[in-house]
Structure 1
Amino acid sequence: MTDDKAARTAPVYTGPRWFFPSALIHELDPDASRSGRRPRRTARDWVVDFSCFLLAVLIGLVGAEALRDNTELPHAVAVLDQVLGALSCAAVWLRRRRPFGLAAAMVPVGFLSETSGGVAIIALFTLAVHRPLRYVAWVAGAQLALVPLYFWWRPDPDLPYAAAVVLLLVLTVATVGWGMFVRSKRQLMLSLRDRARRAETEARLRAEQAQRLAREAIAREMHDVLAHRLTLLSVHAGALEFRPDAPRDEIARAAGVIRESAHEALQDLREIIGVLRAGDSEDAGRPQPTLAALDTLVAESRQAGMKVTLDQRVTDAASVPASVGRTAYRIVQEALTNARKHAPGAEVTVSVAGGPGEDLTVRVRNPPPEGDVPPVPGAGQGLIGLRERATLAGGSLEHGRTPEGGFEVSARLPWR
């Protein structure tokens, strides 16, 4: 029979995989196949590892002193014990890279060497911190099973057999419990950090969505205004086409209207560039408000029960650009809505001032409400939209709490 035929006809083992030691180690130590990937220690890791090394050395020295006092122990066994203890203390520096391998190796070493007891406890604690319970159970179970044999082989001269066994069993269980507690705390902190990052990401996405919706609403309004300008321009151009014999004054007046409409259409077109336009809206075709509609807005708010004071000091209000007036109106409208929701009963002051060649300033301020106000749900998307409007108009908008506890919205819009 050839070697190939023998290999094909050889019986194949189909039993449990954990029967083979290599498979067992692979199942228990997931880092065995990633030994080349070594994480870099931080300053805190160096301090902790050095402290563990010193603790292992200190416990080893105490054990070595106990060995010298034990005259019944053969000299060769004492020397072997101390050699294993020294090697174990040096192996403490491998506890982060191979926690399971070190803890598993310390089971037989700790059974043979009294000076390696500190390293065995540290390795078990490290394993409980860095690995799930199913890995810790193998090592801890083996250590607990060897405790009675250890004190039968090397009895403690100061403690009875039962007391020594119980004391070491309690120490082993406490070490495992402490390590699992530290692991659970670390997992909780990682979970909280992950939730915080996801909350920040969701808040940023909501703000970006609100900004995009505000841009789309502004684009729709600009579309309506631009359509109005172009329609007016087309009407006057058509009149000139069908009335070439019109009086000179009418032709000059129509040309002036065409020139002014084209100029205003270009201004509106500059504002709409860069703004993504969505589909049709329910507001399509609705007349757009201007600064002159502020009086009507304030009157409607007063009829609804609000206390509103309007201080309007605008020079030549009729010459306010339509886009600037529309933005100022929307700012006042949103600010009054917020004041009605979050500060019911408080008196709201609306101030509008400016002139040609200067900035148009809009300020809406309300004091803190009297008494307790039930919380009103809101994500601040209205204020995000107002800031977007002011930015697209070339201005700026600020909002926040006042020193008295009220709220203020302040905007600056260029008036060229």
Structure 2
Amino acid sequence: MTEPAARRRSTELLVAAGSAALCVTVGFAEARGLSVYPRLSSLPLSIPGTGRLPIYLAALVHYGMVPLVGSALLLGRRHRPVAVAVALTILATMTPLIPAALAALFTVASMRSIRTTCAVTAVALLPLPLYLALQPSLSSASLATALTGGVLVGGAVGWGLFLRGLHDRGKQARAQAVLRAEQIRQRERESLAREMHDVLAHRLSLLSVHAGALEVNPGAPPEQVAQAVGVIRSSAHQAMEDLQQVLGVLRTPLQAEGARPEPPQPTLGDIAPLLEESRTAGMRIDLTDEVLHRSQIPPTTGRTAYRIVQEALTNAHKHAPGHDVRIALRGAPGAGLSLEVTNTVPAGEGPNLPGSGSGLIGLSERAALVGGDLTYGPHGETHHVRAQLPWPA
């Protein structure tokens, strides 16, 4: 038997033993004229053909066997709560088993539906008006017995309903916690998907451009080949490092607050090395930088601007190799940060490089998350990516 099952069994035995002790107490109280639940009839204590039992045997049955046997029924209250409650309620109208009946009523209220609970409660309350109707004359003692019985039944059922409400609210809270955890994991997956795309797409596009250059120009001078191979090796190595960094975040378990530690994130100050990589790959880039008080840029705004420039350069490598790219950065505290990346759209069909089109869509989502706005698309013979990002004063 497992530990929870053993603990549950011990609890059931303790409840049955406590109920038996209370039933004995109620029996002695009734013997002295103090009744807490209506007695409609008495349990026959006689042997057929021999008359009533001797007093000591009757007392043993009434104060010993009846409480023990009746309370033993409580061991099955979780499996058959309704049957046990109805049986004990009927027996309580003949014997001092009202404590056991109350425990069974509590179980019904805490485990069964409201409809079933109301039906069983009605069965437990039915002896009260019958008891009063059978009295030759209403007395304060009979009224007190009926009133006490009603209070006890109502208290047992009410306490069971209260605990069931707590249990239901606990289950609902746990379900909501599971839902919130799933939503957090979903947001993490989306964030990591964007991060992997932004980090790896640029590296792989540089690698593809240089590999394609070697493929279309196999007779290039050794110096040029060596330079291209060096860039390919460097890009592949950096891509592996970036991938390991993102995978390291994936392997890190959730912290207590439900978030994973993020890897070091780029800022607007890291754009210069990014542009140098693209220039090394043969791209001509014209940068206009009119950003004032660069050190005061919020980290999320700077990171978003870096990712927008990175994705725009990646798309230019894929779809407009050999064409000039113009980048304009402007902004100041209170005025926001604006950036524009423009490249010429090549005539005819561009190189056949894979692209899902999700990069710029993901950047629109990034910009919206920080309270900014991003637009992109062709305009005549050029393609524009424009973004306006918040920069509070």
> What range is the shorter-chain TM-score in?
0.5 to 0.7
**In structure 1, what is the Cα distance between the partners aligned to 2:2 and 2:87?**
22
- C-alpha contact (below 8 Å) 1:236/1:258 kept by paired residues: no
Residue 64 of structure 1 and its aligned partner are, at CA, apart by: 2.8
Instruction: Write the letter of the residue equivalent to 1:268.
Output: S
Residue 222 of structure 1 and its aligned partner are, at CA, apart by: 2.3
2:99 — aligned with what?
A: 118
Deviation digits for residues 167-193 of structure 1 (CA, Å, limit 9, x no counterpart): 211221222122111111100011001
Give aligned pairs, total: 261
Does 2:57 correspond to 1:76?
Answer: no
**In structure 1, what is the Cα distance between the partners aligned to 2:44 and 2:78?**
34
Does 2:168 correspond to 1:187?
Answer: yes
The verdict on how the C-alpha distance between 1:40 and 1:100 changes in structure 2, with shifts beyond 3 A counting, is farther
Root-mean-square deviation (CA), in Å? Answer: 4.8
Does 2:225 correspond to 1:258?
Answer: yes
Instruction: Write the letter of the residue equivalent to 1:76.
Output: L
Unaligned runs of 5+ in 2: 34-41, 47-57, 244-269, 277-284, 308-332, 335-366, 371-393
Does 2:209 correspond to 1:228?
Answer: yes
The verdict on how the C-alpha distance between 1:67 and 1:39 changes in structure 2, with shifts beyond 3 A counting, is farther
- C-alpha contact (below 8 Å) 1:107/1:120 kept by paired residues: yes
Deviation digits for residues 298-340 of structure 1 (CA, Å, limit 9, x no counterpart): 995843x55449xxxxxxxxxxxxxxxxxxx969947xxxxxx
1:61 — aligned with what?
A: 24
Instruction: Write the letter of the residue equivalent to 2:227.
Output: E
The verdict on how the C-alpha distance between 1:178 and 1:124 changes in structure 2, with shifts beyond 3 A counting, is same
1:377-416 pair list within 5 angstroms: none
**In structure 2, what is the Cα distance between the partners aligned to 1:111 and 1:92?**
17
Does 2:124 correspond to 1:143?
Answer: yes
Instruction: Write the letter of the residue equivalent to 2:177.
Output: A
**In structure 1, what is the Cα distance between the partners aligned to 2:178 and 2:115?**
30
Q: In percent, how many aligned pairs have the same letter?
A: 18
Instruction: Write the letter of the residue equivalent to 2:79.
Output: R
Unaligned runs of 5+ in 1: 1-37, 240-253, 276-287, 310-328, 335-343, 346-375, 380-416
The verdict on how the C-alpha distance between 1:103 and 1:39 changes in structure 2, with shifts beyond 3 A counting, is farther
**In structure 2, what is the Cα distance between the partners aligned to 1:193 and 1:74?**
49
After TM superposition, the score normalised by the length of structure 1 is 0.51
Does 2:109 correspond to 1:92?
Answer: no
The verdict on how the C-alpha distance between 1:222 and 1:61 changes in structure 2, with shifts beyond 3 A counting, is same
Does 2:85 correspond to 1:103?
Answer: yes
> Which of 129, 141, 144 in structure 1 is aligned with 2:110?
129
**In structure 2, what is the Cα distance between the partners aligned to 1:69 and 1:124?**
27
Residue 148 of structure 1 and its aligned partner are, at CA, apart by: 3.3
Instruction: Write the letter of the residue equivalent to 2:235.
Output: D
Residue 74 of structure 1 and its aligned partner are, at CA, apart by: 8.9
Instruction: Write the letter of the residue equivalent to 1:147.
Output: L
- C-alpha contact (below 8 Å) 2:271/2:306 kept by paired residues: no
**In structure 2, what is the Cα distance between the partners aligned to 1:131 and 1:74?**
30
- C-alpha contact (below 8 Å) 2:78/2:107 kept by paired residues: yes
The verdict on how the C-alpha distance between 1:113 and 1:50 changes in structure 2, with shifts beyond 3 A counting, is same
The verdict on how the C-alpha distance between 1:166 and 1:301 changes in structure 2, with shifts beyond 3 A counting, is farther
The verdict on how the C-alpha distance between 1:332 and 1:181 changes in structure 2, with shifts beyond 3 A counting, is same
Residue 236 of structure 1 and its aligned partner are, at CA, apart by: 5.3
> Which secondary structure state, in structure 1, belongs to the residue aligned with residue 78 of structure 2?
coil
Deviation digits for residues 195-245 of structure 1 (CA, Å, limit 9, x no counterpart): 101111221122122212222233321232123312443465345xxxxxx
Residue 272 of structure 1 and its aligned partner are, at CA, apart by: 5.0
> Which secondary structure state, in structure 2, belongs to the residue aligned with residue 237 of structure 1?
coil
**In structure 2, what is the Cα distance between the partners aligned to 1:299 and 1:111?**
95
- C-alpha contact (below 8 Å) 2:109/2:160 kept by paired residues: yes
Instruction: Write the letter of the residue equivalent to 2:121.
Output: A
- C-alpha contact (below 8 Å) 1:233/1:257 kept by paired residues: no
2:273 — aligned with what?
A: 291
1:15 — aligned with what?
A: none
1:19-34 pair list within 5 angstroms: none
Deviation digits for residues 108-135 of structure 1 (CA, Å, limit 9, x no counterpart): 1112212x11000000001100111111
- C-alpha contact (below 8 Å) 1:81/1:112 kept by paired residues: no
- C-alpha contact (below 8 Å) 2:89/2:98 kept by paired residues: no
- C-alpha contact (below 8 Å) 1:236/1:257 kept by paired residues: no
Does 2:175 correspond to 1:212?
Answer: no
**In structure 2, what is the Cα distance between the partners aligned to 1:138 and 1:181?**
18
1:352-371 pair list within 5 angstroms: none
2:282 — aligned with what?
A: none
> Which secondary structure state, in structure 2, belongs to the residue aligned with residue 112 of structure 1?
coil
**In structure 1, what is the Cα distance between the partners aligned to 2:91 and 2:44?**
18
